[in-house]
Structure 1
Amino acid sequence: MTDTPSYGFDTLQIHAGSRPDPATGARQTPIYQTTAYVFRDADHAAALFNLQEVGYIYSRLTNPTVSALQERMATLEGGAGAVCCSSGHGAQIMALFPLMGPGKNVVSSTRLYGGTVTQFSQTIKRFGWSAKFVDTDDLDAVKAAIDDDTRALFCESIANPGGYITDLEAMAKIADDAGIPLIVDNTSATPFLCRPIEHGATLVVHSMTKFLTGNGTVTGGAIVDSGTFDWSASGKFPSLSEPEPAYHGLKFHETFGPLAFTFHGIAVGLRDLGMTLNPQAAHYTMLGIETLSLRMEKHVANAEKIAQWLEGHDAVEKVTYAGLKSSPYYDRVAKVCPKGAGSLFTVTLKGGYESCVKFVDALNLFSHVANLGDTRSLVIHSASTTHRQLTPEQQKAAGAEPNVVRLSIGIEDADDLIADLDQALKASA
């Protein structure tokens, strides 16, 4: 259904990638729980391995259930293709893999999920890659950080944990002027609230574990390719523009055009990195996506009501929700996320760290977990958990200081959630 743009989002989230099973007529996409697939004959097998024919070889690479999810993700984001993998962290490495090389760097926002900051500042060093962290509100600093070895610009559409909104069009212009792709993590927004490709992004990554699945049951990641970037223009991306030895000199961009990145992600990325999404997780994620718009509308409505209530509470020093008129990011919401500012934000308590600990422990409806985007409302003290490995300076830049808690507002009754927050704030005083 990628060639039917006239359908609305609510229709596409149910039907894109999903067709009656040709063998049985099953209406829901089956879980193809198989490792391998029988070839028609020797020539068919050779054509598949040479990338001369599209089909199924081995489920580390391709699987019909996962393929259906990939088509749905590409359709909802408005991309040319998608690659699904085992987690959001896996998706980030998979996105960088064809672009980077020893000595190359990625320029990244300081406002990121703590695990991403650690992955970029520590783990990717083992590949010989590096990251430069900048405040993406300072566009001059972003431009200054890009050098001849920069291979990508990375940010989140709605930043975790503070819910800050990134000026994606400004970031895309900087990336275009530098001849590098803009990679946007759209986990907190989902394609219902924001479609980064429409704002100029080259690649969109997701932790499908969060709002897309929506019920905290499985992990998964996705990379959606816009199909618009010219990988051969500069010579900076030889994995996509130059002959690939493992495929007898095939040039991915020359051969596959707009689908070059997608084919490389499957034929090289999944083949060699092995960050495979299992078919059962793909099935659960597709089920979750079927109700994405309904859930996101409720998430946003609850978040707006609760953030306004919290802002007026005597125990609260600050609420970072971009949907509040007091937020410096309020004007960006209509431009970047016209359907709402999401349901993720932080609350700064006047009582400091000790009050945060008492507040978290006193909550009943809010679950204290290291996750977000569940139907259930969630809470965590980022500085001591998800952002614990960061320096105090990095925590401050990310909006995860010790006197801050992160809330992920679920789809329960908003008044019940407010009552729970109220009693916990009283207990924290």
Structure 2
Amino acid sequence: MTQGFDTTAIHAGAAADPATGARQVPIYQTTAYAFRDADHAAALFNLQEVGYIYSRLTNPTVSALQSRIAALEGSAGAVCCSSGHAAQILALFPLMEPGRNIVASTRLYGGTVTQFSQTIRRFGWSAKFVDLDDPQALRDAIDDDTRAIFCESISNPGGYVTDIPAVAAIADDAGIPLIVDNTLATPYLCRPIEMGATLVVHSLTKYMTGNGTVTGGVVVDSGRFDWSASDKFPSLSAPEPAYHGLQFHKTFGNLAFTFHGIAIGLRDLGMTMNPQGAHYTLMGIETLGLRMPRHCENALKVAQWLEEDPRVVKVTYAGLESSPWKATADRLYPKGVGGLFTFEIAGGYQAAVKLVGALELFSHVANLGDARSLVIHSASTTHRQLTEDQQRAAGAGPEVVRLSVGIEDVADLIADLDQALAKATA
């Protein structure tokens, strides 16, 4: 039976506990699991039987969360891990080898730009950054060593929206997967797999949990990519020495990437999500369908107010009529474009810093997607490691302030911004 979003958000992966009847998913705070006998243990380690071995790999609380997210995203499977950054590495790990590259959007979270431009080079991987609004530039950037395209559905910090179907078509033509970071949109606003994405990643730290208590990530597997169509992805199509020549795609079919993420990725990289964090995220997701409309409604009202204020130079929010991304937003993100956006304040860097310091309701923190409203000056914090050109390309120039608009009374948020703008531009 097909269920609605809110029903799925509450019930998927959350049957009553068979041992105790507990209706909420228990926190299985255990490291290991007892085997029935030696044959049972061998079957689990050979991937001949699905079950629990060790909590670095699988845990019942985490499994419930994986099932719920897979259902919400309309996917074959999902693998949870310790953070959004961990999810990005976990997603790339089966695809990449030394000398291979990815093509990534220029409009990404600053930490992701650093991870892709600096850290992954230590694995022998590289990234090419391209404006995905330019289809020909994207096509030109793909070469024989390209193994994926990476973008954000709604970008951090600028709130730009990506035309996922257009990018997915280019990925399909090249025979490579499209990976979409859906953190800011969540499956409530956007389901990238329905638009052609192969893999979806989230920082569960943000809207999915929604209360600033958890650090977590997930890789969502569409199950639709043919990993054996070429020799580009031997980790998934060729014999795996660690499992006596088992071929993941041949053996597990549409769950090949999911099984690889657990059996190889979590086993060897160890980026495990803890069960208590999974429990908090499960509870947060129960109210996702209630929270996201309020985030979008408040953000639009705040953005419209700021756009009319003479102390503000520019507001970047795809929900505004003035936005060059408004048509794309209306077509692909009809429920709204989230609660995150940026604006440029008159007075540049110093005025931006003063504004952040003068706000009272907006918390100055390096996070987003919380029920409470948050603010940060990206150029001096999250994007500090980037050059000014990179900051501007990412929508995080020195005069830019990022707001994560919460679910408070919007009149109070506007009043707080009004008094802070007065102090910052005096």
- Same fold at TM > 0.5: yes
Where does residue 427 of structure 1 map in the other structure?
Answer: 423
Residue 334 of structure 1: how far off its partner (Å): 2.1
- The two structures have a TM-score, normalised by structure 2, of 0.99
Where does residue 272 of structure 1 map in the other structure?
Answer: 268
Question: Counterparts of 1:9-48 in structure 2 under 5 Å?
Answer: 9-48=5-44
Where does residue 132 of structure 1 map in the other structure?
Answer: 128
Q: What amino acid sits opposite 2:113 in the alignment?
A: V
Where does residue 352 of structure 2 map in the other structure?
Answer: 356
Where does residue 316 of structure 1 map in the other structure?
Answer: 312
- Structure 2 CA distance, aligned partners of 1:301 and 1:236? 44
Q: What amino acid sits opposite 2:381 in the alignment?
A: T
Partner SS, residue 148 of structure 2 = strand
Where does residue 170 of structure 2 map in the other structure?
Answer: 174
Where does residue 402 of structure 1 map in the other structure?
Answer: 398
Question: Counterparts of 1:151-300 in structure 2 under 5 Å?
Answer: 151-300=147-296
- Structure 1 CA distance, aligned partners of 2:127 and 2:331? 28
Aligned mate of 1:66, from 62, 65, 68: 62
Deviations 1:115-140 (A, max 9, x none): 00000000000000000001111111
Q: What amino acid sits opposite 1:312 in the alignment?
A: E
- Structure 2 CA distance, aligned partners of 1:35 and 1:352? 51
Where does residue 100 of structure 1 map in the other structure?
Answer: 96
Q: What amino acid sits opposite 1:155 in the alignment?
A: C
Gaps of 5+ in 1: none
Residue 332 of structure 1: how far off its partner (Å): 1.1
Supply the RMSD in Å over aligned alpha carbons.
Answer: 0.5
Q: What amino acid sits opposite 1:123 in the alignment?
A: T
Aligned mate of 1:390, from 373, 386, 390: 386
Aligned mate of 2:407, from 383, 391, 411: 411
Partner SS, residue 283 of structure 2 = helix
The list of structure 1 runs, each at least 4 consecutive aligned residues, that deviate by more than 3 angstroms after superposition, is none
- Which one is further off, 365-374 or 331-340? 331-340
Deviations 1:258-312 (A, max 9, x none): 0000000000000000000000000000000000010001000101111100000
Deviations 1:303-325 (A, max 9, x none): 11111000000100100010000
Partner SS, residue 67 of structure 2 = helix
- Structure 2 CA distance, aligned partners of 1:184 and 1:28? 31
- Structure 2 CA distance, aligned partners of 1:349 and 1:387? 18
Identity across matched positions, percent: 76
Residue 391 of structure 1: how far off its partner (Å): 1.0
Residue 393 of structure 1: how far off its partner (Å): 1.2
Q: What amino acid sits opposite 1:317 in the alignment?
A: V
Partner SS, residue 403 of structure 2 = strand
Partner SS, residue 72 of structure 1 = helix
Deviations 1:325-357 (A, max 9, x none): 000000111222111011110010111111101
Deviations 1:130-175 (A, max 9, x none): 0000111111101100000000000000000000000000100000
Gaps of 5+ in 2: none
Q: What amino acid sits opposite 2:286 in the alignment?
A: E
- Structure 1 CA distance, aligned partners of 2:391 and 2:302? 25
Where does residue 79 of structure 2 map in the other structure?
Answer: 83
Aligned mate of 1:142, from 138, 155, 175: 138
Aligned mate of 1:373, from 347, 369, 373: 369
Q: What amino acid sits opposite 2:38 in the alignment?
A: A
- Structure 2 CA distance, aligned partners of 1:322 and 1:72? 29
Aligned length: 425
Deviations 1:226-274 (A, max 9, x none): 0000000011000000000000000000000000000000000000000
Aligned mate of 1:120, from 116, 122, 125: 116
Q: What amino acid sits opposite 1:19 in the alignment?
A: A
Q: What amino acid sits opposite 1:246 in the alignment?
A: A
- Structure 1 CA distance, aligned partners of 2:343 and 2:336? 19
- The two structures have a TM-score, normalised by structure 1, of 0.99
- Structure 2 CA distance, aligned partners of 1:401 and 1:159? 15
Partner SS, residue 106 of structure 1 = strand
- Structure 1 CA distance, aligned partners of 2:356 and 2:228? 51
- Structure 2 CA distance, aligned partners of 1:180 and 1:47? 33
- Structure 1 CA distance, aligned partners of 2:339 and 2:319? 9
Residue 378 of structure 1: how far off its partner (Å): 0.4
Q: What amino acid sits opposite 2:105 in the alignment?
A: S
